[in-house]
Chain A
Amino acid sequence: MKPSRSRVVLAAASALLLCAPSIHAQQLLVPMDDAQQNHLKAYGLTYNALKAGMKAEWLLNYRGGAFLLPDTPELRRRAGLDGITLEGVDAGQVAAIRTEIANSNMDAIPLEKAPKIAVYTPPDAPPWDDAVTLALKYAGIEYAPIYDEEVQRGDLSKYDWLHLHHEDFTGQLNKFHLGYRDAPWFVDLVQKNATSARKLGFANIPALKKAVAENIRLFVERGGFVFAMCGATETLELAIAGFNVDIAGAFADGTPMDDNADQRMNWKRSFAFQGAHLEQSPFVNSMSDIDGHQVNVPGRRQPLGAFTLFNFSAKFDPVAAMLVQDHRSVISDFYGVTTSFTKTTLKPGDVVLAFEEGAPWVKYVHGDYGKGTWTYYGGHDPEDPQHAIGNPPTDLSLHKDSPGYRLILNNVLFPAAKKKPLKT
């Protein structure tokens, strides 16, 4: 039997109510607990609302770190297209939420302005090559790719937030020469970096990358936010602390590493680590003992476990609390060139955001430096734990609720938070 027109209209109307809020709602609640059907896109919705000049609030520890947005047709439309779960809330419901937040380990953080995002990535790198660009692309968050030339000419000052692609800032190209010296992609990589170094007036790739690292250090010191994953974490630190030391093997700069490199490192300059020991052998695919897992050194490789997010006080530690908002507190670990950070190399002021129970390493750390902040998240791809060169890219539409990827997007939004005076 053909359904009557009125039945069809009724069905369509009820369908709309299921996915979208009540038409009398004054605000839209974006739940981030298990009720949410697309956690990653929800960050894009919030970011783009801010970009369009709207105000938003991040409800820390409330329903998995929910967002409160204005109720506008455009936001509803976008949520509908992307399959983002919304709940309409009127003034009374908002008041009830605020009361619950006031009486619990929760807080409402106003989000004011979409941060300007730059990603340090080679100009021809596809977005699927890096977890952060994958997440930004999927969530629909715009970013500007920048590389050595832009950094050296001072473009970093145009941005609020910088992500570092899995770069080796020691200039040794992740020691890939050990396994891939003649691989066409590696030959091409060496050639491009060497050309860039010459063009920018540096003798070799390590010298160029050290200069870039120094500019990144200055960017943070002056108030920038830097977020790094994988090998960029460890090598950025080594390049900054080893600014005046030869820390690259002869294969990279023509001279062997300084025999006393360990002693000559100036860890006062670095963000997160201190007292680390450099890997002296050019034949061992490791940079230092900062990485706990040493995935590319067979005799040292440690197995993957799971890491646990700390539960911070939303009212007293809002920054740390923002960075760990998630609908899961225990997450499966994943390898990267640098997978984790050994506890013995952390500076005393570092804030550990995630750790592995009983392990001598941590996964996710954060800290202040000058007027800015840095956050390091070990590993390469939260949904591809054993990622290897040549593996197919991760399709995030198959991992739209990934708790590991959420941590990346927390970092993108946290610079949008209005500075509140700390209560401690």
Chain B
Amino acid sequence: MPRSRSLKLVLGVGIAVWGASVAVAQVPNPNPQADSTAFYRALDLEGAGKFKEAAVLFRQALHSSTSVSALLGLERAYAELHWTDSLVAPLDSLIRKNPREQVYRAVQLRTFQTLGREAQTQEAFEQWVRDVPRDPAPYREYARLLLQRGLAQRADSVLARARIQLGGSGDLQLEIAQARAAMGQWEESAKAWRLALAASPYLEQAAAYALAPAPNEIRDAIRAQFFAQPILVPARRALATLEAAWGSPANGWLALRDLPPDSSSVAAWLDFAQRAEAEERWTHAREALANALRWRPNADLSLRAAVAALNSGDPGGALILAPLTSGGVDSARIARTLLPLHVRALAALGRPATAERLVASYDRWLTPNNRAILARSIAFGWVRIGDMTRARGALTVAGPDADSSDAAGWLALYAGDIRTARKLLRAGVDASPELALALSLISRVREDSSLALGQAFLTLARADTGRAAMAMVEASEGLPEVASLLLYTAGQLRASIKDDAQASALWKRVVEQYASSAEAPAAELEWSRALRRGGNGVEASHRLEHLILTYPQSALVPQARRDLELLRNSIPETQ
């Protein structure tokens, strides 16, 4: 077509003119300072997207003190312009001038590969090997290129040749590891990664990333490589990251817990603890922090470890990890930091009297607000051992603020005083699932008092899940307006202690007896999941179908549809 031919002609002339200007620029510049200026100007032009102009200046700077950076810039600019073939000639002259410069050689290999010149890539590699026969760099760069192209087998052959030529493969473990992983030789890859990590601990993330796709059945073999003696801290850290990627962070702690106590291990424990704290995996956080604390004792770590212990349900451990003596002699500081922790721990242990004495001994360093907070903790301690009178007394001691707090609201609820609980809990600031449940219940209860409901929540506060579930069922008899919610919640409590049979019976009651309640679709969804856990897929499907068709406007329908798809095996299970 005449139009395209003329277009090609215009481009051809343009390139010829540009080529002429480059030819002029190739003459060595006697002033290196001017050339380095050219390099920085080229960087600016590149940043502005003016690749043609940048290329001219990068090329001008090739023979200056910035030649290596200029070459890399020229490589980028030519790639943008699709002129990579123009890099071949300047590379030749640069390599002739300085045959030991690895960057020139690596760029040459990349250039030939980009141009699809297979034979020349191979030839350039061979030449490089001949020029520096004892250097692992040619093998490393060529193997990397092959790996990037997905040619793992060929990369492996290059690496095998390096082992023979160099008498070992110490500097090539990273490439070996990558090649093995690409070939699905996971165990071999893990072995190589371990060696690579010994020399380059910063490769920990790369190792975890490369091994993450390993199938389930091979993972134990990978673990064995990283667990091998002697213990290598970077390898263990990589394994901990890998375990997180495999969805088993608990196993991650197994990789770290027996590290020898030194500074790198402490760093690994602290990193792990930080992740565990963020994910509220308190047991692991506690163990990691306790390990770190043994090697590097300090007050902050001690407090973090104790908080983790308390949150993981080990109040006794919390008291041991952060004794009051760990706060030094600054009583004001102890009152601010360690005292609240000790009071919470003592309350959880059912020792509110000890907590009260402790608070009294630090009373002069407490603000009214701190005092109220501690009073609430003590009150819960009394609740825990069933002494409601002392619990109320504890709040009264803390002053009028404490008595109007959400803690007082909880005490009112435990006593069955729904009216007061309704008023005080609505103003509660401490958001929690328990508060949400209590509010949703008491806002629907018509009566102003219900001892049965109070007893149910009190039993729950004492962490007696099974009895709390029973108490909720009993309470539902006298409170028809919230019976569905009480039965649904009782079902959830049963399920939380792995009693799916009782849980299912309760959810079934909700679906059958309270079909028009807000809890019915939620109960049916939970029921179907319990059936599925029990292996009754057919009945689970029936429940889901019933839910979808009976409550089409329920917000739970998308979840029910997804569960149904999984049961029908019409979508893959999410890993």
Within 8 A of B (CB), among A159-197: 177-186
Contact check, A298 vs B113: say whether CB atoms are below 8 A apart: yes
The stretch of B249-257, B260-268, B547-555 in contact with A is B547-555
Give the Cβ gap from A217 to chain B, nearest Cβ, in Å: 32
**Pick the contact of B572 from A15, A177, A393 — CB < 8 Å?**
A393
Contact check, A299 vs B116: say whether CB atoms are below 8 A apart: yes
| In the bound complex, CA of A185 to CA of B117 (Å) | 31
Q: Which residues of A contact B115 (CB under 8 A)?
A: 299
Contact check, A179 vs B116: say whether CB atoms are below 8 A apart: no
Contact check, A390 vs B113: say whether CB atoms are below 8 A apart: no
Q: Which residues of B contact A182 (CB under 8 A)?
A: 153, 183-185
Q: Which residues of A contact B562 (CB under 8 A)?
A: 397
Q: Count residues on chain A whose CB falls below 8 Å from chain B CBs.
A: 47
Q: Is B33 an interface residue (CB 8 A)?
A: no
Known: A82-B561, A182-B153, A390-B213. A138 touches B571 (CB 8 A): yes
Q: Is A305 an interface residue (CB 8 A)?
A: no
Q: Is A137 an interface residue (CB 8 A)?
A: yes
Q: Which residues of B contact A128 (CB under 8 A)?
A: 572
Within 8 A of A (CB), among B97-134: 113-118
Q: Which residues of B contact A3 (CB under 8 A)?
A: 516
- Chain A residue nearest to B558 (CB atoms) is A83
- Chain A residue nearest to B569 (CB atoms) is A137
- Chain B residue nearest to A2 (CB atoms) is B481
Contact check, A299 vs B113: say whether CB atoms are below 8 A apart: yes
Give the Cβ gap from B409 to chain A, nearest Cβ, in Å: 22
| In the bound complex, CA of A397 to CA of B551 (Å) | 20
Within 8 A of B (CB), among A391-405: 392-397
Contact check, A80 vs B548: say whether CB atoms are below 8 A apart: yes
Contact check, B516 vs A397: say whether CB atoms are below 8 A apart: no
Q: Is A373 an interface residue (CB 8 A)?
A: no
Give the Cβ gap from A42 to chain B, nearest Cβ, in Å: 15
Q: Is A125 an interface residue (CB 8 A)?
A: no
Contact check, B444 vs A2: say whether CB atoms are below 8 A apart: yes
Q: Is A268 an interface residue (CB 8 A)?
A: no
Contact with A along B542-575 (1 / 0, CB 8 A): 0001001111110001000110110011111011
* Size band of the interface chain B makes with A: 35 or more
| In the bound complex, CA of A80 to CA of B554 (Å) | 13
**Pick the contact of A178 from B151, B213, B552, B575 — CB < 8 Å?**
B151
Q: Is B349 an interface residue (CB 8 A)?
A: no
- Chain B residue nearest to A136 (CB atoms) is B570
Contact check, A81 vs B182: say whether CB atoms are below 8 A apart: no
Known: A299-B113, A397-B565. A183 touches B183 (CB 8 A): yes
Q: Is A5 an interface residue (CB 8 A)?
A: yes
Q: Is A144 an interface residue (CB 8 A)?
A: no
Contact check, A397 vs B113: say whether CB atoms are below 8 A apart: no
| In the bound complex, CA of A208 to CA of B494 (Å) | 59
Contact check, B184 vs A183: say whether CB atoms are below 8 A apart: yes
| In the bound complex, CA of A204 to CA of B148 (Å) | 31
Give the Cβ gap from B411 to chain A, nearest Cβ, in Å: 27
**Pick the contact of B549 from A77, A126, A185 — CB < 8 Å?**
A77
Contact check, A15 vs B552: say whether CB atoms are below 8 A apart: yes
Q: Is A8 an interface residue (CB 8 A)?
A: yes
| In the bound complex, CA of A38 to CA of B307 (Å) | 49
Q: Is A367 an interface residue (CB 8 A)?
A: no
| In the bound complex, CA of A2 to CA of B548 (Å) | 23
**Pick the contact of A298 from B114, B183, B481, B572 — CB < 8 Å?**
B114
Contact with A along B499-534 (1 / 0, CB 8 A): 000000000000000001000000000000000000
Contact with B along A1-19 (1 / 0, CB 8 A): 0110100110110011011
Q: Which residues of B contact A177 (CB under 8 A)?
A: 153
**Pick the contact of A180 from B116, B152, B575 — CB < 8 Å?**
B152
Q: Is B154 an interface residue (CB 8 A)?
A: yes
| In the bound complex, CA of A138 to CA of B566 (Å) | 10
Contact check, A81 vs B153: say whether CB atoms are below 8 A apart: no
Q: Is B3 an interface residue (CB 8 A)?
A: no
| In the bound complex, CA of A422 to CA of B569 (Å) | 41
Contact check, A5 vs B572: say whether CB atoms are below 8 A apart: no
Contact check, B516 vs A81: say whether CB atoms are below 8 A apart: no
| In the bound complex, CA of A344 to CA of B110 (Å) | 31
Give the Cβ gap from A417 to chain B, nearest Cβ, in Å: 26
Q: Which residues of A contact B151 (CB under 8 A)?
A: 178-179
Contact check, A178 vs B570: say whether CB atoms are below 8 A apart: no
**Pick the contact of B118 from A83, A126, A283 — CB < 8 Å?**
A283
Q: Which residues of A contact B444 (CB under 8 A)?
A: 2
| In the bound complex, CA of A9 to CA of B515 (Å) | 11
Give the Cβ gap from B484 to chain A, nearest Cβ, in Å: 10
Q: Is B150 an interface residue (CB 8 A)?
A: yes
Give the Cβ gap from A378 to chain B, nearest Cβ, in Å: 20
**Pick the contact of A5 from B117, B152, B154, B516 — CB < 8 Å?**
B516
Q: Which residues of B contact A126 (CB under 8 A)?
A: 572
| In the bound complex, CA of A186 to CA of B113 (Å) | 26
Known: A185-B184, A296-B150. A395 touches B572 (CB 8 A): yes
- Chain B residue nearest to A394 (CB atoms) is B572
Select the residue from B115, B117, B553 with max chain A CB neighbours within 10 A.
B553
Give the Cβ gap from B518 to chain A, nearest Cβ, in Å: 9
Q: Which residues of B contact A83 (CB under 8 A)?
A: 557, 561
Give the Cβ gap from A337 to chain B, nearest Cβ, in Å: 12
- Chain A residue nearest to B147 (CB atoms) is A179
Within 8 A of B (CB), among A63-84: 77, 80-83
Q: Which residues of B contact A140 (CB under 8 A)?
A: 568, 570
- Chain A residue nearest to B515 (CB atoms) is A8
Contact with A along B164-190 (1 / 0, CB 8 A): 000000000000000000111100000
Give the Cβ gap from B4 to chain A, nearest Cβ, in Å: 13
**Pick the contact of A19 from B113, B183, B552 — CB < 8 Å?**
B552
Q: Is A297 an interface residue (CB 8 A)?
A: yes
Q: Is B149 an interface residue (CB 8 A)?
A: yes
Q: Which residues of B contact A18 (CB under 8 A)?
A: 552-553
Give the Cβ gap from B144 to chain A, nearest Cβ, in Å: 13
**Pick the contact of A179 from B153, B213, B561, B565 — CB < 8 Å?**
B153
Give the Cβ gap from A334 to chain B, nearest Cβ, in Å: 18
Contact check, B564 vs A81: say whether CB atoms are below 8 A apart: yes
Known: A183-B183, A392-B575. A178 touches B116 (CB 8 A): no
Select the residue from B548, B553, B572 with max chain A CB neighbours within 10 A.
B572
Q: Which residues of B contact A396 (CB under 8 A)?
A: 571
Give the Cβ gap from A179 to chain B, nearest Cβ, in Å: 4
Q: Which residues of A contact B570 (CB under 8 A)?
A: 137-138, 140
Select the residue from B113, B153, B569 with max chain A CB neighbours within 10 A.
B153
Select the residue from B549, B553, B568, B571 with max chain A CB neighbours within 10 A.
B571
Q: Is A300 an interface residue (CB 8 A)?
A: yes
Q: Which residues of B contact A77 (CB under 8 A)?
A: 549
Q: Which residues of B contact A5 (CB under 8 A)?
A: 516
Within 8 A of A (CB), among B286-323: none
Give the Cβ gap from B452 to chain A, nearest Cβ, in Å: 19
Contact check, B183 vs A11: say whether CB atoms are below 8 A apart: no
Give the Cβ gap from A5 to chain B, nearest Cβ, in Å: 7
Q: Which residues of B contact A300 (CB under 8 A)?
A: 116
Q: Which residues of A contact B154 (CB under 8 A)?
A: 178, 283
Q: Which residues of B contact A185 (CB under 8 A)?
A: 184
Contact check, B152 vs A179: say whether CB atoms are below 8 A apart: yes
| In the bound complex, CA of A296 to CA of B148 (Å) | 11
| In the bound complex, CA of A237 to CA of B545 (Å) | 46
Q: A137-B570, A182-B184, A299-B114 provided; 14 other pairs, C-beta below 8 A?
A: A5-B516, A16-B552, A18-B552, A80-B549, A128-B572, A178-B153, A181-B153, A182-B183, A297-B116, A298-B116, A298-B149, A299-B115, A390-B213, A394-B572
Can you report 29 residue pairs joining A to B where beta carbons are below 8 Å apart?
A: A11-B553, A12-B551, A16-B552, A18-B552, A80-B549, A80-B552, A81-B545, A81-B564, A126-B572, A128-B572, A138-B565, A178-B150, A178-B154, A179-B150, A179-B183, A180-B153, A180-B184, A181-B183, A182-B184, A183-B184, A183-B185, A186-B184, A283-B154, A298-B148, A299-B114, A395-B571, A395-B572, A397-B561, A397-B571
4 tightest CB-CB pairs across the interface, nearest first? A299-B116, A183-B184, A8-B516, A15-B553
